[in-house]
Amino acid sequence: MSDIILETKGLTKHYGGVHALEDADFVLKNGEHVAIMGDNGAGKSTFVRQITGVEQRTRGTVTFDGNDVNFAGPLDAREAGIETVFQTLALADDLNVPDNLFLGREKTKFNFLGPFRVLDYKAMREDTMAGLEKTGVKIPNIRNTIANMSGGQRQCVAIARTATFASKLTIMDEPTAALGVQETEQVENIIRTLKKQGESLILVSHNMRQVFDLVDRIIVFRRGRIVANLNKDETDGQDVVAYITGAKTGAEYEGAA
Ligand SMILES: Nc1ncnc2c1ncn2[C@@H]1O[C@H](COP(=O)(O)OP(=O)(O)O)[C@@H](O)[C@H]1O
Ligand SMILES: [Mg+2]
């Protein structure tokens, strides 16, 4: 078995004349935690969307867990084992917490009164509570609809969703950008748990401290291109900023170390 969980080659996305993502060659090993950094508009979210099937790429290939993939949508990606927290939250406002967690993979049970299987709300509530407890996320009442929750609580639900289901790869696009200090800590603890469990992670983040605390490797995007692939132990914040701003170039991405 290959020790590579995700590989993109020449991954490119153009929106009309906007070259949002250009020729991204990227490799992620099993169990590795990698950060993606870069200025606003550098192409980070576009990269995530092409991998997870939210959009159809202009060209390039994505290999996930040994297979060439071209997901039709995020649910397809999730079914294959990729859990994603998108920058713009993909939660359903009018659903409560368990319904959001199990959206697209509802639990059912046998219905003794008729020929059909029915939704098993009790099991889903219990799994939700267990998932939230595992992540340390505190939600006063999981039966409340998402619409009534604060931005931080909503984000925590989205993150609990990724931590509740065993997956092969977790992608978080700026998960703590809108969170307070405590919520940010909770999310960082979830990420540490994922690391201990051997799950692979891509973390898009602007937070230098967080990145250096959590990941093994840092990828820098600039103007749609990957411009640096840095081992955390061989770089520092100043160095990373220099690549982000374009003051430094030349550590062209060369695949996995
Ligand atoms: N749906 C879209 N249509 C047109 N341009 C887009 C679209 N989505 C993103 N872009 C452009 O692509 C570039 C990269 O955006 P994005 O991936 O969101 O950057 P980042 O996540 O690094 O801030 C930006 O110039 C942005 O304006
Ligand atoms: Mg973005």
DSSP string, 57-81: -SEEEEEETTEE---SSHHHHHHHT
Distance CA 156, CA 185 (A): 11
CA of 184 to the centre of ligand 2 (A): 18
Nearest to 254 by CA among 233, 217, 222, 227: 227
Q: How many CB atoms lie within 10 A of CB 95?
A: 15
Q: For residue 68, is it within any domain?
A: yes
CA of 209 to the centre of ligand 2 (A): 19
Mutate to test the pocket of ligand 1, among 12, 39, 46, 203 (most ligand atoms within 8 A of CB): 46
Q: Each residue's pLDDT tens digit in the chain (257 positions)?
A: 579 999 999 999 999 999 999 999 999 999 999 999 999 999 999 999 999 999 999 999 999 999 999 999 888 998 999 998 887 666 677 777 777 677 666 777 776 666 677 788 888 888 888 777 766 667 778 787 777 777 777 777 777 777 777 689 999 999 888 777 887 888 898 899 889 889 999 999 999 999 999 999 999 999 999 999 999 999 999 999 999 999 998 655 554 44
Q: Is residue 254 part of a domain?
A: no
236 located within any domain: yes
Which ligand is closest to the CA of 38, given by its number? 1
Q: Under a CB-based contact definition with an 8 Å cutoff, are residues 37 and 205 in contact? A: yes
Closest ligand 1 atom to residue 16 Cα is: 4
Which tokens belong to 203?
Answer: 């973390």
Give domain status of residue 49, yes or no.
Answer: yes
Name the residue range of residue 67's domain: 4-245
Tally the domains of the chain: 1
Is 253 domain-assigned?
A: no
Q: Which residues contact 137 (CB under 8 A, 6 or more apart)?
A: 156, 157, 159, 160, 186
Instruction: Write the CATH number for 180.
Output: 3.40.50.300
Of 22, 45, 202, 243, the one to substitute when testing ligand 1's pocket (max ligand atoms within 8 A of C-beta) is 45
**256 assigned to some structural domain:** no
CA nearest 78: which of 200, 1, 165? 165
Residue 223: closest CA among 201, 255, 245? 245
Ligand nearest to the backbone CA of 54: 1
Amino acid identity of residue 157, one-letter, is V
Tell me which ligand sits closest to the C-alpha of residue 20: 1
State the pTM of this model. Answer: 0.85
Strand partners, 117: 110
Q: Which residues line ligand 1 (CB under 6 A)?
A: 15, 18, 20, 38, 40-46
The whole-number pLDDT of residue 236 equals 97
Quote the DSSP letter at residue 153. H
Helices (H) and strands (E) in the chain, counts: 8, 12
Q: Please state, in angstroms and rounded to a whole number, the distance separating the CA atoms of residues 248 and 56.
A: 32
User: Under a CB-based contact definition with an 8 Å cutoff, are residues 193 and 162 in contact?
Assistant: no
Report the residue among 14, 15, 50, 88 best suited for mutation to probe ligand 1: largest number of ligand atoms under 8 A from its CB.
15
87 in a structural domain: yes
The radius of gyration computed from the CA coordinates of the chain, to the nearest angstrom, equals: 19
| Whether the Cβ atoms of residue 165 and residue 83 lie closer than 8 Å to each other | yes
Atom 4 (ligand 1) nearest CA: 15
Ligand 2 center to 121 CA (angstroms):
35
> Considering only CA atoms, which residue is closest to atom 10 of ligand 1?
20
Instruction: Please tell me the number of the ligand nearest to residue 46's CA.
Output: 1
Q: Does residue 32 fall inside a structural domain?
A: yes
